[in-house]
Structure formats: C-alpha cells, structure tokens
C-alpha cells in the first residue's frame, strides 16, 4: 500500500517540490491557466477511475465504522467531481498574484525600487476529510506559483492518490514541472512529523481541520505555520442597536451554517436591553430558530420569564466553539464589559457589533483584536469568496503573514528589486 | 541581582505586556510621538546613571575577558546616548502605520470593507551585545503600537536595566501603559526558553544576532518567529557587464562594511571574462582593497597569472558568511550556472547582478529566491534606511510575513473591518 514512509522519503518529496518551485516561479499566467484548464478537463474525463478509488475509501470507512456524515463528506460522485473541476476553472480566471508590484519608488540616488510579489515556494497542506481540498489546494498553489505538498487524511488516501495522479499527469502534459503537485508519502502520523521537520525545504505549512490537528501542527512544526480556522465568534448587541437588525444578524450569524468557523457562538447583550424587552425578543427568535441557549444568570432569568428553554452557562460555554445549534448568552453591564468579555474568550476570528451609536462602534472596533470585525453585519461574511478575494485556502487566525481569509495574494511573499546604473554606498 | 527567573515570572511579564498591548492599540499618533520625545529627553537627562550602570557591565566584561571589540560595542558614552535618543526622535517623525488602509472596497451587497493595519500585539526581541538595540526596539514597538518584551544579552544586563527604567518612567509619565516596555526577567538561558514558549501571550519573536542565536530561536520557539539576518550575498558579473561598474560594485559590496549581513561574500564571474581580462581586473581590484580571495581553480589560475595572492576555495567557502575581508570567487560557465550556484548556496538575503544585457537581467531576477535583488547596484543597499523605510528592526530572510528590511509597517498585522446596515448571508 505504500502507506508508511520514512523520513528520507518525505524529505526527498520535499526536495523534489523545491526543484519544481524554482521552475514554477518564472512561469507566466497564461502557462499556469492553461494547466489549470487541462487539470479540470482531466478530472471530468477520468471521473470513473476517481470514483472507483473513492469507493475503496468508502468501503474501508464503513468497515472502520465512520459516521454517515463523514462518509458523505468523503464521497465523490460525478456531479461533485464536475463541481471540483469547475472550481479549478474559476481559479484560472483570477488574476495572477505573482509579479504584482506592492510598492515602488525612486530613491534620491536614482535607484528604482519595486517590492514585487513572488511565490512562497513549497507549501505543505495538512488537512482532514474532504478530498475536494486536495484539488482546491493544488489549484491555488499552482496559480500562485507554489509547489504543493499535500497531506490529506488516511481515510481519503485512495481518493487523494487518484486525484493527484490525474492532476499531475494533466499539469505535466501542459508543461508544468513534474513535481509541482505531490501527495506526501505515507499516511501514518510519522509522515506528518517528517513534513513538519522539513525546514529549509518547505516554506510554509497550512493546517486545515479541527482544533486538535491545528494544535499539533503549531506545537511541533519547525517549518513556519499559518494557523487557521478555530472560531469562537461573538455578536455584541449594543443598547443603541436597532432590534430588527439585531435579531436578523444574531439569528443569521448563529444558524445560517452552524458547523463552520465563522458561525457565532456567543451573544452578548447590553444590560439596557434587559428591561426594554430587547433581550426577550432575541431569546425568542433564537429559540424559534431551534437554538439551544446556554445563558448567564441574567439571561436565564429572562428566558424563564418569557418561557424560552435555556440551560445555565458555565465558563466552558464562554470558551466553546460549539459548531452546532447552541449559543452562549450573557448580559453585559456596558460596552466596555462586552469588549472585555470578548477579549478574554475570543479565538480572534470574527466579532460583530450591532449598534447605531457611531461612538460605540468606533470604540468597539478599535479595541477588538480579531481577524475580522463586522459592524451591523453577520459574522458569516468572513470568507474569501464573500469578501471578494475570489478563492480561499483557509482563514488565518494568527497575526503573522496573513490574517483572515487567505486568497492568492496571501500565498505569496515579496522580493525587493532594486535597479540602478552603478550605485554604490559611500 | 534578580538574574534568574522562573517560567512563571517570564509568563507574568508576558501577561502584563498583553494587557499593555490592548491599551496601546487605540492610542493616537500624537500620544505615541509625545511619549517618544519624552523618552528621548529622559535618556539625555539621565545620562549619568545610564553610564554608571554601563560601567558595571564593562567592568564585568573585562573581568570575563571580553574582546576589546565587544567592549567597544557595549560601551555607552554621553555622545552615544545622545545619538540613541536622537534615533527615537526620528522614529517619532515617521508616519504611524496603525490605521493605514491596505485595501478597501464596497461589495455588491453594500458592505464596506477595509483591511486596516493593527499592531501585532506583544513583540519579543532577543538580541546580543549593543545596548542601543534596547532603545531602538522599544521605540519602534511603541510607535507601531506594540508592547515590547526585550531580552538583551547578559553582558549588557545592567545597561539594559538602566535604559529600560528610564524609558518606562518617561513613557508612563507621558500616558503610555506601565508595561508597554519591559525587560524579560532573568539573564540565564532558561528565561529565553520561557519567552519562546509563551505562545498565546507573545505574538512574535524577532531574534537579532549571530547565526547560532537565530538557529536556537527558530528551532525552539512555539511563538511565531521572524528569522533575520544571515547574509551569504553574491555578486554575479555577467559577460555583458560594464567593467568599471562591475569593479565599483564588487569592491563596494565586499569592503564598504564587511562585518554586516548585506556585505557580499561570493563573487561569480561569467567565463567570457576570463579570456577578456575582466576577471583579472576584478581580482586585482579586490586585492588592492585588501580582500583575501578564496578562488575556484579557474579563478586561482588567473590570480596566479596576474600575481594576486589567493587560496583554493572549498565547498565551505561557497557556504561561508565571512563577515570579514574575505571573498569566495568562482568562474561560472554562463548565466544559468551562476543562477544555479546562487540558488544552491545562498542564505536568500541579497544577490546582485552586474550586466547590461536586459534579457540576462530579466532571466536572473525572475530566477532568484532572495529577499532583495540588486541590478547594477551594491548589495549594501538592502537596509531599511537606504530603501526608504525610515527605520529598521531587522532584515527578514524568511518568506513569511515580512521579507527584507523590516520597518514600522512590518511590525503590524491587519484586520478586516466590514461595515454594513444589517447585511446577512442567504
């Protein structure tokens, strides 16, 4: 099966990726887009063999007792493969980030400076479950001139192998370097550790998956990591909020797609809204939408008063990323108390304020420490597609390099190019 | 002496920095600049006590047998303190990076987006020798809204303590949070390790110093690191180079200040220049400037032929960052061979090409993988001041976050601020 790999095998793959990266960097947009189109066509043409490989993963998954939810996420159909291929074509339609001049000017001594986007080099992706990530990541890496080292989950190994074989063959025929796209050899835990130790060969590792996976990578990698995706997002409803808007935003942030990182997990309500009936209205709306409320004493009292079921919140609720139809609710004395609660408990992904008082909004925005801050809008907008980045390889929750949704530009570094006619320092 | 610190003490300092960072983020440029001016004045006013503390370090250094060079770098005089204070005033004169809108646009649904610079938060600096770095780093961190956790070398402990006490008192009187500037408790190795383990409290660690220090930090830190400063810089002289210009640039790159990271260490000469006399001229010029040549067989033969002393280069020479009046010299068959040599041996800091053939220049530039590429200019220009960044906290040789000279903008992250009037996702 080739499912166990030595450190040497993983480093050799990284070394081949490094060679490919050098060849990818100077390619033109036209050359890369042609390859992306060829890859999309090959996926559709070779649907049958991909589905067959996928069937082996599914059979193994059922034997291992995977839940129906996970089996569904693992499953590739011809329809899904067509959608995955279409996403590659969409990536081809995006501008090439490589070569973009970030800034440039002429110095007093006549040197012409340009700070220009260049590929990162070799990008390692470590991810779980869905095989579509394999194709998405390969496409985004190729477009941004990076060599991709892909490490999907063991449960999708056969599917990922088939997909990568199809992509490699098509890319290579279209003139891309042989090893622009590779699966990391091995599916055991050791192979992940070998990848994380390949500093100098791999330029960055992007983990995508649950909190446990991300924590493991962050703590063990000597290769620089971009931390992604844990979202304990808050909605703060100010005393000055329009209640119609607040209800709409709170319900949408929580229930539109509760299983994703930009769904809201905690609701903070200004104390003035307890007496005014505003809190009651929000509790009723969440209950009507099917949300289980985890309430602090003040919110619990109002829930009981208006006949909405709720359970008492503990500290764990303030920290929880439920990813389900649960929401923690707290009443805060004022704006600063709301800010303090968020700064204490947030994972720094996305926070929203609903308010009409401009001074309150400015105060809130300047004191948040999160990747995205929504003013009178749903937390669900923190997404590369929604924010106009065109595509997304993940949502960074760290401050270094990239923060928030990462599109093609975030898959690049920069170089300073300084052109003179003999300038020296004196 | 308080020179040994427990993990709890270091983490407590980081926790206080975190609180200070929250207070620093919303401060205005005016408030921060006033504090920088007050800090500069206080350094000058309290010169005497700083010099006294410094004398204790110098006495201890002499006792420990530090070289005169190191003693000189450690020494603070009233003149040097005035220069350090003047640098703070210069930082005050630079624009505030916080709040700069990096990009912004309105979405189809009416959401107004702005990607805005925000402070990184808590910046840990680990550095060697010169106590002026203490003040520089404190000033750059403050201006960019970051709390500074400073860890200088044990040999400068007394000086750093005195400097930080002066800076803290002045900053605090000017309205800055108490712990915006702190020395990391302890001077033993453990305290560095405690700092590097403070993930979640410290946002980034910037090591400045020798290759050993940087390697230790990169390999052991769970806090994200910005790798700085090792420079094995190359000058490639093409067959199309103007020889006057080549001579000037090679000599300047090597000899203008050989002890710094942007000094050139290797010279690569196109084979056509062997027969034409071009190589001979470069060898003579370097020799006349006092450079010891470490030459490959082809260059060695020419050196002997023209009576210039040279030693035979080994592989170690291609990898060396001499930081001295030594230079490795190799003859390369053609442009691609030069590129291959550089890609194999470079530390990805700065490479220069001297050429008049535009096609050769484009080919070279697009195949380099370094922070800065100089076309017909000295490698010595890779410097924040020279490139117009106004100030510099270090030169990043990694690709993540910042690359090349790091000014104030590189001390920031960004947040997405999305302003709507009730937008939800459907």
Do the strands A350-354 and A233-237 form a parallel or antiparallel pair, or are they unpaired?
Answer: parallel
**Which pLDDT band holds residue B230 (cuts at 50, 70, 90)?**
confident
Same domain, B223 and B243: no
Both tokens of B190, joined, read: 């453990």
CB contact under 8 A, A423 and B218: no
Q: Is some CB atom of chain A closer than 8 A to the CB atom of B248?
A: yes
Q: What is the spatial distance between Cα B265 and Cα B262, in angstroms, rounded to a whole number?
A: 9
Residues A314 and A173 grouped into a single domain: no
Is the Cβ–Cβ distance between B130 and B74 less than 8 Å? yes
Measured CA to CA, the distance from residue A12 to residue A6 in angstroms comes to 10
ipTM for the whole complex: 0.92
Is there a domain that residue A396 lies in? no
pLDDT of A72 strictly over 50: yes
Q: pLDDT tens digits, residue range A197-213? A: 999 899 999 998 888 88
B273 shares its domain with B191? no
B254 and B181 within one domain: no
Q: Give the pLDDT of residue A238.
A: 98
Would you say B125 and B151 are in contact if contact means Cβ atoms under 8 Å apart?
yes
Task: Decide which of A388 and A239 is more confident.
Answer: A239
H-helix segments, B64-155: 68-74, 78-93, 132-143
* A2 pLDDT above the threshold of 70: no
Q: Check if A28 contacts B (Cβ < 8 Å).
A: no
Assigned domain for A411 exists = no
Contact B416 A399 (CB under 8 A): no
User: Distance between CA atoms of A42 and A35, rounded to whole angstroms?
Assistant: 10
Percent of residues, chain B, with pLDDT higher than 90: 88
Per-residue pLDDT at B188: 83
pLDDT of residue A399: 92
- Give the span between the Cα atoms of B313 and B192, in whole angstroms: 38
Pair B260, B369 in one domain: yes
Burial A355-364 (b: 16+ CB within 10 A, else e): beeeebbebb
* Predicted local confidence at residue A187, as pLDDT: 82
Query: B157 pLDDT exceeds 60?
Result: yes
Q: Is residue A413 assigned to a domain? A: no
- pLDDT attached to residue B229: 77
Other C-beta atoms within 10 Å of B146: how many? 29
| Helix, strand, or coil (residue B331) | strand
- The confidence band for B1, taking pLDDT boundaries of 50, 70 and 90, is very low
A107 and A196 inside one domain: yes
Backbone phi and psi for residue A112, each to the nearest 5 degrees, phi listed first: -95, 120
A51 and A153, same domain (yes or no):
yes
Which structural domain, as residue segments, surrounds residue A267? Answer: 233-381
User: A205 and A64 in one domain?
Assistant: yes
Contacting residues of A for B371, CB less than 8 Å apart:
415-416
Chain B residue closest in CA terms to A344: B19
| Reported confidence tier of residue B89, pLDDT bands at 50, 70, 90 | very high
Measured distance CA(B355)–CA(B343) in Å, rounded: 19
The residue behind tokens 């090597």 is B254
B101 close contact with A: CB closer than 8 A: no
Average pLDDT estimate for B177-184: 96
CA distance A398 to chain B (A): 8
Is residue B218 located within the same domain as residue B241? Answer: no
Tell me whether residue B353 is in a domain.
Answer: yes
For position A37, which CATH number holds? 3.40.605.10
The residue-averaged pLDDT of A112-125 equals 97
CA atoms of A228 and A208, how far apart (whole Å): 6
Checking if the pLDDT of A228 tops 90, the result is: no
Neighbours of B46 (CB within 10 A): 17
Contact in structure between A279 and A273 (CB atoms under 8 Å): yes
How confident is residue A1, by pLDDT bands cut at 50, 70 and 90? very low
- The alpha carbon of residue A79 is apart from the nearest alpha carbon of chain B, in Å, by 23
- Are residue B152 and residue B257 in the same domain, yes or no? no
Query: Which of these three, B228, B249, B278, is where a domain ends?
Result: B228
- C-beta atoms of A425 and B256 within 8 A: yes
- How many domains would you assign to chain A? 2
DSSP string, B163-224: HHHHHHHHHHHTT--TTSEEEPS--SHHHHHHHHT-BTTB-EEEEES-HHHHHHHHHH-SS-
- The residue to which tokens 């005014």 are assigned: A276
For tokens 């929504």, name the residue: A374
Q: What is the DSSP letter of B412?
A: E
Alpha-carbon gap, residue B409 to B202, rounded angstroms: 19
Give the pTM: 0.92
Q: Is B404 on the interface with A (CB under 8 A)?
A: yes
Q: Residue B126 pairs with which residues in a beta bridge?
A: B151, B207
Residue A60 resides in a domain: yes
Residues from chain B contacting residue A104 (CB–CB below 8 Å): none
Q: How confident is the model at residue B214 (pLDDT cuts 50, 70, 90)?
A: confident
Residues from chain A that touch B414, judged by Cβ atoms under 8 A, are 403-404
Mean pLDDT, residues A46-64 taken together: 97
CB B410 within 8 A of CB B204: no
Token digits for B77? 């005089």
Residue in B118, B165, B117, B157 with CA at minimum distance from that of residue B138: B165
Residues in A closer than 8 angstroms to B422, CB to CB, are: 242, 244-245, 248-249, 376-377
Higher pLDDT, B227 or B119: B119
- Write out residues 39-98 of B within 8 Å (CB-CB) of A: none
**Residue A115: its chain B contacts at CB < 8 A?**
404
Q: Is residue B190 part of a domain?
A: yes
Is the Cβ pair A401, B403 closer than 8 Å? no
Tell me which of A247 and A259 has the higher pLDDT: A247
Cα end-to-end distance, chain A, whole Å:
63
Domain termination residue (choose one: B178, B213, B228): B228
Mean pLDDT over the full length of chain A = 95
**Same structural domain for residues B162 and B261?**
no
**B250 falls within a domain:** yes
**Four-residue CA torsion sign, B74, B217, B11, A404:** positive
**What share of chain A has pLDDT > 90, as a percent?**
88
What mean pLDDT is predicted for residues A29-47? 98
Please check whether residue A1 lies inside any domain of the structure.
Answer: no
Q: Mutate which of B102, B371, B399, B406 to test chain A, going by most A C-beta atoms within 10 A?
A: B399
**Of residues A158, A148, A151, the one with CA closest to residue A36:** A148
Report yes or no: B73 and B61 within 8 Å, Cβ to Cβ. no
Please indicate whether, in this complex, the C-beta atoms of B416 and A380 are within 8 angstroms of each other: no
List residues bridging with A330 in a β-sheet: A268
- Same-domain check for residues A22 and A170: yes
- Between B248, B382, B413, which is nearest A422 by CB? B248
Euclidean distance between CA atoms A11 and A384, whole angstroms: 32
* Among A119-133, A255-269, B89-103, the least confident range: A119-133
Instruction: Give the gap in angstroms from C-alpha B219 to the nearest C-alpha of chain A.
Output: 6
Q: Output the domain CATH number for residue B364.
A: 3.40.309.10
Structure-block tokens of residue A354: 């609903």
């Amino acid at each position: 099966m080739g499912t166990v790999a030595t450190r040497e095998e993983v480093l050799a793959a990284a070394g081949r990726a490094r060679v490919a990266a050098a060849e990818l960097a100077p390619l033109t947009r036209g050359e890369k887009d042609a390859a992306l189109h060829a890859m999309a066509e090959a996926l559709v043409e070779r649907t049958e063999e991909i589905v067959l490989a996928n069937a082996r993963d599914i059979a193994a998954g059922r034997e291992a007792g995977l839940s129906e939810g996970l089996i569904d996420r693992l499953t590739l159909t011809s329809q899904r493969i067509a959608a995955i291929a279409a996403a590659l074509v969409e990536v081809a339609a995006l501008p090439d980030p490589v070569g973009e001049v970030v800034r440039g000017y002429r110095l007093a001594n006549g040197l012409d400076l340009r700070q220009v986007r260049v590929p990162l080099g070799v990008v390692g992706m470590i991810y779980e479950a869905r095989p579509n990530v394999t194709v998405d990541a390969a496409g985004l890496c190729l477009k941004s001139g990076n060599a991709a080292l892909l490490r999907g989950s063991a449960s999708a190994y056969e599917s990922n192998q088939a997909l990568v074989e199809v992509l490699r063959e098509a890319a290579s025929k279209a003139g891309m370097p042989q090893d622009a796209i590779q699966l990391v050899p091995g599916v055991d835990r050791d192979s992940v550790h070998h990848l994380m130790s390949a500093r100098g060969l791999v330029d960055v590792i992007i983990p995508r998956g649950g909190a446990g996976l991300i924590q493991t990578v962050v703590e063990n990698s000597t290769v620089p990591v971009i931390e992604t995706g844990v979202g304990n997002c808050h909605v703060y409803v100010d005393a000055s909020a329009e209640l119609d808007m607040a209800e709409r935003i709170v319900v949408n942030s929580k229930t539109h797609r509760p299983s994703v990182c930009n769904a809201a997990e905690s609701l903070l309500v200004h104390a003035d809204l307890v007496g005014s009936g505003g809190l009651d209205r929000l509790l009723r709306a969440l209950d009507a939408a099917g949300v289980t409320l985890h309430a602090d004493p003040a919110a619990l009292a109002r829930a009981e008063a208006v006949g909405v079921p709720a359970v008492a919140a503990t500290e764990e609720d303030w920290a929880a990323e439920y990813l389900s139809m649960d929401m923690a609710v707290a009443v805060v004395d004022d704006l600063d108390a709301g800010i303090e609660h968020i700064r204490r408990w947030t994972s720094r992904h996305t926070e929203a304020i609903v308010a009409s008082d401009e001074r309150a909004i400015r105060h809130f925005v300047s004191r948040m420490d999160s990747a995205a801050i929504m003013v009178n809008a749903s937390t669900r907008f923190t997404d590369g597609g929604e924010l106009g980045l065109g595509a997304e390889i993940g949502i960074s929750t760290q401050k270094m390099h990239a923060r928030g949704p990462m599109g093609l530009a975030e898959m690049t570094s920069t170089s300073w190019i300084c052109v003179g006619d003999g300038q020296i320092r004196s």
